[in-house]
Amino acid sequence: MKTLISKLIGSLLIMCIFITGCDGDDEVQSAPSKTYVLVHGAFQGAYAWQYVKAQLEKKGHKVVAVELPAHGEDKTPPADISLNVYRDKVVGAISGLSGKVILVGHSMGGMVITATAEKIPDKIEKLIYIAAFIPANGQSLLDLASTDSTSKLFPALIPSADGLTQDIKPENIVPIFAQDANEEVKKLLLDKRRAEPSKIFPDKATVTAANWAKVDKYYIFTKRDNTVGPGLQKRMVAAAKITKTTTIDSDHSPFLTKPDVITELLMANN
């Protein structure tokens, strides 16, 4: 009988170690899995999130990098673009996911995640803006960008003859968007370069206290940003009354040039 009891106790201890991690030391606990939906900015596509996406997935999280219409490999004509079209693409991506999501937007993607949160606030756990535009009610990206005297992007834009797109000379891509880029990232940005649809620039956002305002928000400032100047970033955050912020010593695209930093920040804001 004593032998049987000893064997049972030993078996239970082994089960405890492998199932719960209770080996006499601190209990082993894994961080809860989250669902991240990542929205890129202008002149980029879902590919821009590839390094952060891979790192988050390695940590056990679910990640959806949205390809906005007329960006990356998407073939939507620029004439068919609007802020609502972008919003609906993100809403569609979120609707197929269970539970709430952490919605992340970069640059122009800040307009999109704002519109998305206004549409489906109860599906969003929190918004994280990275060097992103944050419109007030009735504001457009153009309204905000026109106040940015330090941006190198807007003086470099080249409109198409029909006015439907804006382009940038290849030699200006890296200095404007990612001056910290290594050779791999430089090649990626140049190989994926594509003219940006113009129609979203004057589109006015709708923002209400009943929807967008009730969603938890974070902002990541980029200290050496040549696209959305730090001054404009601070003014938008103040106007939006966002109090949870972090500043990183980075260019405009830290998910490409400092993916480890962005991955850790996204997880830290869980």
Pairing of strands 101-106, 196-197: unpaired
CA dihedral over 266, 262, 49, 110, signed as positive or negative:
positive
The per-residue pLDDT for 270 is: 56
The per-residue pLDDT for 31 is: 63
The per-residue pLDDT for 32 is: 81
Q: Do residues 255 and 262 touch, judged by C-beta distance below 8 A?
A: yes
The per-residue pLDDT for 14 is: 37
The per-residue pLDDT for 96 is: 87
Q: Do residues 165 and 196 touch, judged by C-beta distance below 8 A?
A: yes
Strand order in the sheet with 165-167: 158-159, 165-167, 196-197
Helix, strand or coil for residue 104?
Answer: strand
pLDDT along the chain (270 residues), means of 10: 44 38 39 92 98 97 98 96 98 95 98 98 98 98 97 96 96 97 97 95 97 97 98 98 97 98 89
Q: Do residues 89 and 68 touch, judged by C-beta distance below 8 A?
A: yes
Cβ burial, residue 65 (10 Å; 0-12/13-18/19+): buried
Cβ burial, residue 42 (10 Å; 0-12/13-18/19+): buried
The per-residue pLDDT for 20 is: 37
Token pair, residue 182, equals: 């290594």
Residue from 128, 81, 142, 133 nearest 107 by CA: 133
The per-residue pLDDT for 21 is: 38
The per-residue pLDDT for 98 is: 92
